[in-house]
A and B are shown apart, each in its own frame.
Chain A
């Protein structure tokens, strides 16, 4: 099967019932996609599939055929990432960092849908991404700062 992975046409001939998470990490070595729970509860494995945030542990490879997948490794090449990177750094929104690849992609999906979200909308947007370090407030602030500083690019 053929799909677009981080902008490049990619083929996969392995097990169609395998998890996208495992294939991204083990076959394509995209280890920015973190494995937390394998049951859709933590958001650490979040990727963007056809423009929507999904948990890659919840996706069987068979459904990926023809899709566009973006992981943090692809997203970090964008100008939007740079705005989020700076905003997260500015308020120390990253501590251990395990949730951050998924959190940043969740932030991208929030801002792509709504460039000027309210605090509530940000909190709903990251509600599937667990962070055990920050208590979330710094992350929510970072996304709000990115929305302001990145005005016009989303």
Chain B
């Protein structure tokens, strides 16, 4: 008989995680595709501490098991994340699926992971030994490889509250609903006193992890829109060199062309 665990507190969940051979189950919408009936799940749907959405002075804290629907109905979640979540799958999946599961599944196609990269989100990881906070780009080590120990659970996603107002999010899929991203892009550009103070350009579903090149972004930091426009071709060429897509459902050439088109659109929308 297959066992299961359904704790009601995080403490209890972490004790089970360290002592039993279990697969953490948040919304189930990725796990149940395989739907292995011999898996022992650690069901997290009754752990209230994990599904809260709240804020402090710097971050919106999204509980790992807060559903997409809950994220969409929250007043405090930044719009860039809501825009991404609103395009995930369809209502029935958004009623179950969670950001913790989307990230924990480890796919570079995870739409919320892309936003996390673009906004420099952090993850809170907990174990019986305590908690640690990791930057999203350090959490993804490679294809389906995560900096998540066997005894740890993702408990929260920390989304910075400031400097996200001017963003661009684009998802290219085969259709509007129920589509896996073929290429996705999230960008943020913030001007302070006429100069670019913050720019991020992140590409999803292209390689083993989300791609973002902070050293290339620096080309435009501190520049005015006019100065940035003069650097546009150099900037685009750098991405054309750096982005090396892997072959998936679509060709390498297609993926690369779409990446550069989405980046160009983002710059053009900002008059660059």
Binding site for B on A (CB under 8 A): 15-19, 38-41, 43, 46, 49, 52-55, 57-60, 62-63, 65, 106, 109, 124-125, 127-129
Contacts and interface: CB of A to CB of B under 8 A. Distances in A.
Nearest to B4: A16
A129 B91 CA distance: 10
A141 to B, nearest CB: 19
A124 B91 contact: yes
Given A16-B3, A58-B28, 17 more contacts: A15-B2, A17-B39, A17-B40, A40-B89, A54-B92, A54-B95, A54-B96, A58-B29, A58-B93, A59-B96, A62-B6, A62-B25, A63-B25, A127-B91, A127-B178, A128-B89, A128-B178
Contacts of B91: 53, 106, 109, 124-125, 127-128
A40 B29 contact: yes
B130 interface: no
Contacts of A15: 1-2, 37
> Which 10 pairs between the two chains have the least Cβ-Cβ distance?
A128-B90, A127-B177, A16-B4, A52-B95, A62-B4, A39-B33, A53-B92, A58-B32, A127-B90, A128-B92
Interface string B5-24: 01000000000000000000
Given A40-B29, A62-B6, A16 B41 contact: yes
B79 interface: no
B6 A128 contact: no
B140 interface: no
A55 B92 contact: yes
A18 to B, nearest CB: 6
Give the dominant DSSP class at B's interface.
loop
Nearest to A105: B92
B129 interface: no
20 contacts: A16-B4, A17-B2, A17-B38, A17-B41, A18-B37, A38-B33, A38-B35, A40-B29, A40-B178, A53-B95, A55-B92, A55-B96, A57-B32, A58-B93, A60-B43, A62-B43, A65-B6, A106-B92, A109-B91, A128-B178
B68 to A, nearest CB: 11
Contacts of B177: 124, 127-128
Contacts of A39: 33
B41 A41 contact: no
B176 interface: yes
A55 B178 CA distance: 13
A58 B90 contact: no
Nearest to A39: B33
B264 interface: no
A43 B37 contact: no
Contact of B92 (A17, A18, A40): A40
B49 interface: no
Contacts of A125: 91
A60 B6 CA distance: 12
Given A52-B95, A128-B92, A19 B35 contact: yes
Nearest to B31: A60
A17 B37 contact: yes
B57 interface: no
